């Protein structure tokens, strides 16, 4: 430290009183995002040599080999700024999906895209309609812009209630988020259902169709947002390389939409928002059909493994088309902690889903360890319930 540099005044530690009045008031209402616990974090706390992370819907097979190779090649150019417009990636997307390049805009993950959409379209008091429970970042984007968030509950079976969503749209609505398969429930809607919804909707809000998990869908008539975009509907598709493409750590996603809409999103984009390594890896991953096929097959097998395993344990679960499953374990937080003690990280604590944990589908042996942990958890719960009954009966 330079001699002339002064020690921080004690007041630096107690700025809260001075800072708070300067902060935009609506930010106080935002609850911080709680991510899946990082592996290293859990290793430190429990001293495990290895930890199974089934918490963030990542691809257990890892990144596409072609993406790895492309990423490595770009590292030697790491001293250069990336192409801010992501032209190579957008050209690759254009080739892959048969839409002109001006229909695509890349982002530092879908999370950033949701923030960019919010900055592009939302003024204070504007309304955002989202299903609930669904992806919390939609709410975050609205809250940061001080827009008004309208949460429309899912039906009891966690499917979308399109009538209620429609009823929530009014002249102040700017964005309507729909996610299929829906995170964290795994439920989905069909393309026909989405078309019917769009047909009934007055053409003034932008419908954001989040297709983060769309590659995993086996059910008939999956959502195909690009068809709506080709047909000139007011639709933006959100896509990510974090899930089936296995590039969550690189942070890369994109939106697809009419050039009129995409142009304005570019307006709020930081000059170098998506990094060079991510752009190159994503462009390569897009054409690694073998990796996508293997990932989809592994996920399908894992879904069946969890289906059979949970059924055998008598744990109800929501039928899923994603790479995760929502299981009704009774006490989500207790199950989360019990699994954590066995070195398995899952997710609990979703608003309105206290009885559930969300489990990302992993490799067969990882799923097995998770199911064994759940079996033990259910046994101990049964035991404590019986003990409680005995104590009650005895008094
Ligand atoms: C994981 C996920 C995304 C992708 O987020 P990234 O920021 O691209 O990693 C987008 N939408 C939903 C619903 C998700 O679950």
pLDDT tens-place string over residues 305-331: 999 999 999 999 999 999 999 999 999
**Residue 393's pLDDT is what?**
56
**Ligand 1 within 6 A of 208 CB?**
no
**Confidence band, pLDDT 50/70/90 cuts, at residue 15:** confident
Report how far Cα 330 is from the mean position of its chain's Cα atoms. Answer: 24
**Confidence band, pLDDT 50/70/90 cuts, at residue 19:** confident
**Residue 389's pLDDT is what?**
66
The answer to whether residue 1 scores a pLDDT higher than 50 is: no
| Sheet of 127-132, strand order | 104-107, 253-256, 235-240, 206-210, 173-179, 127-132, 148-153
**Confidence band, pLDDT 50/70/90 cuts, at residue 3:** very low
CA distance readout (Å), 271 to 31, 85, 105, 310? 28, 8, 12, 47
The residue whose CA is least distant from atom 5 of ligand 1 is 110
Average pLDDT over residues 183-196: 98
The residue whose CB lies within 8 Å of the most ligand 1 atoms, and thus the one to mutate among 212, 213, 325, is 212
Q: Which residue has the tokens 């053409």?
A: 203
**Ligand 1 within 6 A of 58 CB?**
no
The residue whose CB lies within 8 Å of the most ligand 1 atoms, and thus the one to mutate among 243, 255, 274, 279, is 243
What is the Å distance from ligand 1's center to 253 Cα?
A: 8
**Confidence band, pLDDT 50/70/90 cuts, at residue 8:** low
What is the Å distance from ligand 1's center to 245 Cα?
A: 12
What is the Å distance from ligand 1's center to 48 Cα?
A: 28
Mean pLDDT, all residues of the chain:
94
Contact call for residues 159 and 321 (beta carbons, < 8 A): no
Is 393 or 194 the better-scoring residue by pLDDT?
194
The residue whose CB lies within 8 Å of the most ligand 1 atoms, and thus the one to mutate among 137, 223, 322, is 137
The answer to whether residue 5 scores a pLDDT higher than 80 is: no
**Ligand 1 within 6 A of 109 CB?**
yes
What is the Å distance from ligand 1's center to 212 Cα?
A: 6
**Residue 380's pLDDT is what?**
94
What is the Å distance from ligand 1's center to 381 Cα?
A: 33
What is the Å distance from ligand 1's center to 63 Cα?
A: 16
The residue whose CA is least distant from atom 14 of ligand 1 is 212
Classify residue 27 by burial, with Cβ atoms within 10 Å: 0-12, 13-18, 19+. Answer: exposed
pLDDT tens-place string over residues 30-56: 888 888 888 988 898 898 989 999 999
* 200: its two tokens: 């009934």
**Ligand 1 within 6 A of 242 CB?**
yes
Average pLDDT over residues 103-119: 98
CA angle 170, 174, 176 (to 5 degrees): 85
What is the Å distance from ligand 1's center to 211 Cα?
A: 9
**Ligand 1 within 6 A of 141 CB?**
no
**Ligand 1 within 6 A of 240 CB?**
yes
Distance CA 247, CA 229 (A): 26
**Ligand 1 within 6 A of 179 CB?**
yes
The residue whose CB lies within 8 Å of the most ligand 1 atoms, and thus the one to mutate among 242, 274, 361, is 242
What is the Å distance from ligand 1's center to 372 Cα?
A: 29
pTM score? 0.93
Peptide bond into 303 cis (omega under 30): no
pLDDT tens-place string over residues 129-176: 999 999 999 999 999 999 999 999 999 999 999 999 999 999 999 999
**Ligand 1 within 6 A of 57 CB?**
yes
CA 22, 28, 30, 32 torsion-angle sign: positive
**Ligand 1 within 6 A of 183 CB?**
yes
Strand partners, 324: 360
The answer to whether residue 395 scores a pLDDT higher than 50 is: no
**Ligand 1 within 6 A of 298 CB?**
no
pLDDT tens-place string over residues 341-391: 999 999 999 999 999 999 999 999 999 999 999 999 999 988 776 666 666
């Amino acid at each position: 430290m330079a001699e002339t540099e002064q020690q921080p005044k004690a007041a630096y530690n107690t700025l809260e009183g001075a800072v708070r009045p300067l902060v935009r008031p609506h930010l106080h209402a935002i609850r911080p995002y709680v991510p899946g616990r990082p592996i290293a974090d859990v290793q430190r706390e429990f001293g495990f040599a290895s930890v199974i992370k089934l918490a963030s819907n990542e691809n257990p097979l890892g990144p596409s080999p072609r993406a790895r190779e492309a990423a490595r090649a770009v590292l030697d150019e790491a001293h250069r700024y990336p192409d801010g417009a992501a032209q190579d990636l957008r050209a690759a997307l254009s080739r892959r999906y048969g839409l002109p390049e001006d229909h695509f805009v890349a982002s530092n993950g879908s999370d950033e895209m949701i923030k960019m959409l919010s900055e592009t379209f939302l003024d204070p008091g504007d309304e955002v309609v989202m299903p609930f429970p669904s992806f919390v970042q939609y709410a975050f984007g609205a809250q940061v812009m001080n827009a008004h968030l309208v949460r429309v509950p899912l039906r009891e079976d966690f499917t979308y209630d399109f009538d209620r969503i429609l009823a929530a749209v009014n002249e102040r609505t700017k964005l309507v988020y729909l996610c299929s398969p829906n995170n964290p429930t795994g439920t989905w809607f069909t393309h026909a259902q989405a078309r019917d919804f769009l047909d009934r909707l007055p053409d003034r809000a932008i419908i954001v169709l989040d297709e983060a998990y769309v590659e995993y869908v086996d059910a008939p008539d999956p959502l195909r947002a690009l068809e709506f975009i080709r047909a000139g509907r007011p639709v933006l598709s959100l896509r990510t390389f974090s899930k089936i493409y296995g590039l969550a750590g690189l942070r890369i996603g994109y939106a697809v939409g009419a050039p009129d809409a995409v142009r304005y999103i570019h307006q709020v984009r930081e000059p170098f928002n998506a990094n060079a390594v991510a752009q190159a890896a994503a462009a390569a991953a897009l054409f690694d059909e073998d990796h996508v096929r293997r990932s989809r097959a592994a996920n399908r097998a894992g879904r069946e493994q969890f289906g059979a395993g949970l059924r055998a344990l008598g744990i109800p679960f929501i039928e899923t088309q994603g790479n995760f499953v929502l299981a009704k374990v009774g006490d989500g937080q207790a199950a989360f902690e019990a699994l954590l003690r066995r070195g398995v990280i899952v997710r609990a604590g979703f608003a309105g889903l206290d009885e559930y944990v969300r489990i990302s589908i992993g490799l067969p042996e990882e799923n097995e360890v998770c199911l064994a942990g759940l079996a033990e958890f259910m046994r101990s719960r049964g035991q404590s319930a019986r003990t409680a009954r005995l104590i009650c009966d005895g008094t």
